[in-house]
Amino acid sequence: MSREILPDYETQFLFPRSLEDWVGADHPARYVREFVDALDINALGLTEEQLWSQEDANGRPHYAVTLLLKVWLYAYMNGIRSSRRLERACRDLLPLVWLSGMHEPDHNTLWRFWTRYRKTIRQVFQQSVRVAMEENLVGMVLHAVDGTKIKSASSKRSGWYGPDLKKTLTQLEEKIDQLEAQIAAAGEQGDLPEDTLPKSLQNRQELRSKIKEALSRLDEVHRDNLHRLDPEARIMVGNGRKDFGYNAQAVVDESNGIIVAADASNDENDEHQLEPMIEQVKENTSEFAAITVADSGYHTAESLGAAEAMGVHVLVAMPVKEREAPAFHTMRFVYDAESDTVVCPQQQRLTRVGRKKHKDKPTPVTTYRCRVSGSCPVAKQCSKDPRGREIEISPHYDAIVRNRRHPDARALLIRRQSVVERAFAEIKETLGMRRWSFRGTEKVKTQWNMICAAMNLRRMFATAPG
């Protein structure tokens, strides 16, 4: 029979174990320490003097930026984003006790780190990309760009919604009118003392005032919804549900899943995100990937044209597949540059009419109209406009056609899913990142950069030899 092993709480050591022995040689906490210690402090905009001699005006202990950065990075790598949880973890979790050198920064210190060193955190993400480049973990063959919607820190229930507020205001005013009529009738009979307003009416008038104030705020920003605690958040669709949130963007390299560009905004869709994300890739890696793929949410003429102007090879999924497009879909009309006409599916030519400028598009488009709709046998199927079908041709038409006819589109777009959506799945499912901890676009950007830096460290540690 084997001897049962029990914990021994009585043994005393003449020489305590060295702090260096508290975590194994292959522990991820060591990788975090080496990464932060190797950072170029001057590149982060901090000098040694600022790091070690800056004093807190309130007399609190001044923990080094490197110490706080280490514990926060390790925390984000393990799904800890609350400063209070991290305070407890610095006492209870051995890797964090080791990383902090047995110091115990309180939650206020950990929270102030975000405010004081916001720019530093963003640059840490860039440094993680450059370290991955130096270790040859970024292949620059295929990059996948995508966005994911993450809920605001504020609850949807406390938001303001124009249609609901107007409906409530109408019902409230009707009730107030009824109460005022009852009060007037009671006053004539002498049942109410003078200068007295019932509490029920006081509460309703106060509520009416608040609703009118909320509607006034909505009119100022020209929107139907607004969150009073997080005014920069927008109603977005995520997982089939609408909620206040922000749009987190990432560009992921196929080789090892390294995130090479990251940003967050309050744009409800991805239409204007392709160009800035590609530019950030160039800033972080000094080059473009052989090909960058994106889903149909990024498909705009301006984005495709801007990518070609930068010399970037991009492939963006079509909102409607050509083989599934209706018989008279816009993509069935072909522009003939030589004659400056558009050829329809019936081989009729639409002639140039003029130029048109859309509010949501920076460049005007050229319009072409059918002149034979009166005699065309399929005119009613083609257009409901009695003047004939009108087609708009963008200045970036050639880029759209080249994107549509990419020879390897299907295979590349399938690869895109396994690259970028895997990263988002790990962030949301493994790390539990489903709601921002901060309010406001700038703070959300900072948190997203920290998440992506932590993700890169996870990838680099997983691929490290030995």
Structure tokens at 436: 């921002």
Q: What is the pLDDT of residue 194?
A: 47
CATH superfamily, domain 142-152+237-320+405-444, is Ribonuclease H-like superfamily/Ribonuclease H (3.30.420.10)
Q: Convert the pLDDT of each residue in 179-224 to its tens digit.
A: 667 666 665 555 544 444 456 556 666 766 766 666 676 676 677 7
Whether residue 2 is predicted with pLDDT greater than 70 in this model: the reply is yes
Give the pLDDT band of residue 13 (cuts 50, 70, 90): confident
pLDDT of residue 215: 65
Q: Are strands 241-253 and 259-265 parallel, antiparallel or unpaired?
A: antiparallel
Cα 382 to Cα 251, 371, 377, 378, 379: the distances in Å are 40, 13, 10, 6, 5
For the cut 50, the answer to whether the pLDDT of residue 444 exceeds it is yes
Longest dimension (CA), the chain: 103
pLDDT surpassing 60 at residue 51: no
Cα 90 to Cα 104: distance, rounded to the nearest angstrom: 6
* Cβ neighbours for 460, distance < 8 A, ≥ 6 positions apart: 31, 35, 128, 131, 132, 135, 137, 256, 258
Higher local confidence (pLDDT), 59 or 131:
131
Question: Beta strands of 23-116 (E only): which ranges?
Answer: none
Name the least confident of 75-79, 191-195, 341-345: 191-195
What is the chain's percent helix, strand, coil content, to nearest 5?
Answer: 45, 15, 40
Query: Which has the higher per-residue pLDDT, 121 or 219?
Result: 121
Residue 7's pLDDT is 80
Structure tokens at 273: 């995100």
Average pLDDT on 118-137 reads 91
The CA distance from 276 to 263, in Å, is: 9
Mark residue 18 as left, alpha or beta (left: phi above 0; alpha: psi -120 to 50; beta: remaining): beta
Give the Å distances, CA to CA, from 145 to 116, 262, 287, 293, 371. 30, 10, 16, 6, 42
Q: Give the predicted TM-score (pTM) of the model.
A: 0.85
On whether the CB atoms of residues 350 and 333 are closer than 8 A, the answer is yes
Q: In the prediction, which pLDDT does 172 show?
A: 62
Kind and range of the H or E element at 354? strand 349-356
Residue 181, classified by CB atoms within 10 Å of its CB into exposed (0-12), middle (13-18) or buried (19+), is exposed
Summarize the confidence of residues 3-11 as an average pLDDT.
81
Give the pLDDT score at 251.
Answer: 97
Q: How confident is the model at residue 292 (pLDDT cuts 50, 70, 90)?
A: very high
